[in-house]
Structure 1
Amino acid sequence: MRRDDYVSGMYFLSLYVLAAVVQSIVIFQIDFQIYQLSSFSQWILVLAAVLLVGFAVVLKYFHHKGFRAVFILGIISMAGQLLQLTSFYVAFLLPIKELAPFYPPLTVLSLALAFVYGLGLIFSSAGKNYWLKVSGIFTLIATGLAACLLIWSWVEQPNPLSPELIKFNHWVTLVSSLLPVPLIVLFYKELSMLVRSKETSVRSKVSESFFALGAIALLLILILGINLATESYGVTHVSERTKAIAEPFETRRFVNEDGDTLLYRLLLPKYYDPGKRYPMVICLHGGAGWGTDNIRQFDGSLFARLLANTANREKFAAFVFVPQCPPGSSWGNLPDLPAIDSLVFESIEALEAEFSIDQSRLYVVGHSLGGYGTWNFIGKHPEKFAAAIPVAGEGDLKQAENMLEVPIWAFHGANDRNVPVSGSRDMIAAIRKAGGNPRYTESPHGGHSWDIVTDTPGVLDWLFAQKRE
């Protein structure tokens, strides 16, 4: 091993630790919403590349010292982690939802391989080195915590993740980000011994490539780190514009008999008369609205913004119901996230008992996460809704026959990278095949935005013209 090898190993492992800690801090701030940030997909690839390069130097060290067992176990463990990361990236960030079922077993496999690797560091000949043994112990602790997190999340399903579990996930992520620290110390010790022995090292072309790669990696980490921090700031801080939009809405909460709580905002018709009946629009927000502050949902709900508009309040007298989905939960149709749809339906029934709501004119609308929920709502309870507008969502094809009597106007952008356009295309095709006649508008150049709705005239006029027989 050359001096440059130890320097490269320390550099890339330290860069990984620094970046992983930054990521952990962001997760502490915004929980699962980090996966919704546009820069996260690039960030995770760079982070994985930095770790891979750093661990390649570790493997070279194992080979150099003759630690054959941990050399082989290290290769196998890294392969397991790469498989897990690839399945996560493909299934949840591209996303190709058909591959989502592969992620849990690959996670279990990755943890098992990491556990065996940790045992190898402790009980093989490598364990005679103090810092390698510490690295093995640290690996076992981190793997054990991750396994506990996995089991806990399975036990809690299909309920929304508890605050305690979410907090535990934060700390497990932080602990895991520190895994390379003993190896960094080891390389520092080895480098110090080389310096004291006054051994010389001729810089090779490979070493020069490593330093050039290190400079590129640092630049990417800085750029993407700034983007990640900026986007997370936007998630954690509510803009004055959003506060102004939320102002006319009443701040409310619903608690069912089991103690489950739903935070929501409610806008009454501008000239509300209890002697008359009014339609109600259920606005399901997208991923930008996840939270527990009962205000951020307006960042992810186009329709709540539109219906709060003064002109629209005058034109369309209606109740506007805007619930907030807690982090780690969904409105339905997302198998990896527990749904709170039944809690929403209970709260709707409570509102119908409290206010003069026209039950023949209940409308459900939503974008992204809310688009998934919109399909789910009319798939499970089509008898309740007079119309639905799912935007950039995806439904359960097996529920298509349930939706034949519900007027639907779906929207999607052909270039949507968050939710593939096939999500809407397949649902529309399935409903039409079953005998339904849904409307569908697709933007040939649109992405994962709601511009397609605002650019289409007459959407709200169509919505409020619908009435259930």
Structure 2
Amino acid sequence: MAYSIIKKKSYLFFLTIQLLTNCSSSDGVIGINANDLVELNTISSGVQMAYPRGSTKSQYGFYAYVPSQYNIANTEKYPLLIHLHGGGARGDSSVNPNDLNSILFDGLPSLIHKNQWNPKHPMIVVSPQSPSIWNTENLHNFITFLIDNLKIDTQRIYMTGFSMGGKGCYDYVSSKGNKSYVAAIIPIAGWGDVSTGNQFTNIPVWAFHGDADRIISHDKSISMVNAINAENPTTKAKITIYSGIGHDSWSRTYDNTGKGSGNSAYDPFDISIYEWMYLYKKTDL
């Protein structure tokens, strides 16, 4: 199998440990009219659109963004980036469509909503919403649904997430290994199962965490990266640690303002994460 080199709102989340995630408020949150969101092919290029649960055949409600270059009439395909939210954005938009707005408070969908995201390489970005901890089989089926409905370059499917979503990234690969769709993952302020390092041998990983995180210790990211590297992966897993930063280590990562500020004892944040992921594509399809 070959791979080629290529944030205010507080809440309490309980899993195996107590998890508090800080979210920022977002101006002009998009209102949702489920009646206008029946078919996925209604998506407009350069726009991030809401699809409440039940408006499509997906088991998730989600926000989807396609780049301005995207044209449903042509054959060009684009990389896909799946963004997994943290515990505070959990909800079920089939019960209350406005639940989906919580996805816009933080992370990558927030940057897109505020027109503050402009990567070098155009990408489709899809941000699903889960009512509970991320389920790996549901995630896998969701990506299959997206592949069936959008013009996706299946060799360039990436995944990122923070807090609970960081765990979701790890869990997806831990469960699916080489059968997963992803070519690379970027888990932030997350944790994983250190007994599954051998599932990551062909999937590049770049983890981020703050060493002042009192919710999820940065040691959990370090342990997971060490477990992966102990299996001699094709591409060594990376970890960037921010000194003096708490649980929200994702904002500075997604908007690239954290570049150059990592602890020098760990891997430097010296390239946009979007450019880094583009270095890798899956060629075993």
Query: Is the alpha carbon distance of 1:314 and 1:370 closer, same or farther for their aligned partners in structure 2, counting shifts above 3 Å?
Result: closer
Using the size of structure 1 for normalisation, the TM-score is 0.45
The answer to whether the aligner puts 1:432 opposite 2:235 as a matched pair is no
Q: For residue 266 of structure 1, what is the aligned residue in structure 2? A: 64
1:442 CA drift (Å)? 0.7
Q: For residue 186 of structure 2, what is the aligned residue in structure 1? A: 389
Q: For residue 319 of structure 1, what is the aligned residue in structure 2? A: 124
Q: For residue 295 of structure 1, what is the aligned residue in structure 2? A: 101
Map Cα deviations across residues 371-430 of structure 1 (whole Å, 9 max, x no partner). 110111122223311110000000111211000111111001111101111210111111
Point out 4+ residue stretches in structure 1 off by more than 6 angstroms: none
* AA in 1 matched with 2:128: P
The answer to whether the aligner puts 1:351 opposite 2:151 as a matched pair is no
Q: How many residues of Structure 1 are paired with residues of Structure 2 in the alignment?
A: 232
Distance 1:94 1:250 in 2: 29
Distance 1:349 1:409 in 2: 24
Identical columns (%): 26
1:253 CA drift (Å)? 4.5
1:322 CA drift (Å)? 0.4
Q: For residue 5 of structure 2, what is the aligned residue in structure 1? A: none
Map Cα deviations across residues 149-190 of structure 1 (whole Å, 9 max, x no partner). xxxxxxxxxxxxxxxxxxxxxxxxxxxxxxxxxxxxxxxxxx
1:308 CA drift (Å)? 5.4
SS state at 1:315 partner: coil
The answer to whether the aligner puts 1:411 opposite 2:201 as a matched pair is no
The answer to whether the aligner puts 1:460 opposite 2:260 as a matched pair is no
Q: Which residues of structure 1 form unaligned runs of 5+?
A: 1-29, 37-87, 96-230, 332-339
Distance 1:468 1:344 in 2: 18
* AA in 2 matched with 1:294: L
Query: Is the alpha carbon distance of 1:400 and 1:255 closer, same or farther for their aligned partners in structure 2, counting shifts above 3 Å?
Result: farther
* AA in 1 matched with 2:61: L
The answer to whether the aligner puts 1:282 opposite 2:82 as a matched pair is yes
SS state at 2:159 partner: strand
Q: For residue 17 of structure 2, what is the aligned residue in structure 1? A: 92
Q: For residue 197 of structure 2, what is the aligned residue in structure 1? A: 400
Distance 1:342 1:438 in 2: 24
The answer to whether the aligner puts 1:378 opposite 2:173 as a matched pair is yes
Decide whether the 8 Å contact of 1:413 with 1:452 is kept in 2.
no
Q: For residue 442 of structure 1, what is the aligned residue in structure 2? A: 241
Distance 1:458 1:314 in 2: 9
* AA in 2 matched with 1:315: K
SS state at 1:322 partner: strand
Map Cα deviations across residues 420-449 of structure 1 (whole Å, 9 max, x no partner). 112101111111111121111011222101
Decide whether the 8 Å contact of 2:104 with 2:113 is kept in 1.
no
Query: Is the alpha carbon distance of 1:249 and 1:451 closer, same or farther for their aligned partners in structure 2, counting shifts above 3 Å?
Result: closer
1:369 paired residue among 164, 188, 204: 164
Query: Is the alpha carbon distance of 1:462 and 1:241 closer, same or farther for their aligned partners in structure 2, counting shifts above 3 Å?
Result: farther
1:317 CA drift (Å)? 1.4
The answer to whether the aligner puts 1:240 opposite 2:43 as a matched pair is no
* AA in 2 matched with 1:316: H
Using the size of structure 2 for normalisation, the TM-score is 0.72
Distance 1:34 1:268 in 2: 31
Query: Is the alpha carbon distance of 1:307 and 1:381 closer, same or farther for their aligned partners in structure 2, counting shifts above 3 Å?
Result: farther
Q: For residue 40 of structure 2, what is the aligned residue in structure 1? A: none
Q: For residue 265 of structure 2, what is the aligned residue in structure 1? A: none
Distance 2:47 2:136 in 1: 25
Distance 1:92 1:346 in 2: 28
More strand by share: 2
Cα RMSD after superposing both structures: 3.1
* AA in 1 matched with 2:228: I
SS state at 1:380 partner: helix
1:254 CA drift (Å)? 5.7
Decide whether the 8 Å contact of 2:216 with 2:247 is kept in 1.
yes
* AA in 2 matched with 1:281: L
Map Cα deviations across residues 323-373 of structure 1 (whole Å, 9 max, x no partner). 0111xx111xxxxxxxx3322321211111112101110000001011110
SS state at 1:467 partner: strand
Distance 1:462 1:309 in 2: 23
SS state at 1:349 partner: helix
* AA in 1 matched with 2:188: V
> Greater RCO between the two (CA within 8 Å, min separation 6)?
2
Q: For residue 133 of structure 2, what is the aligned residue in structure 1? A: 330
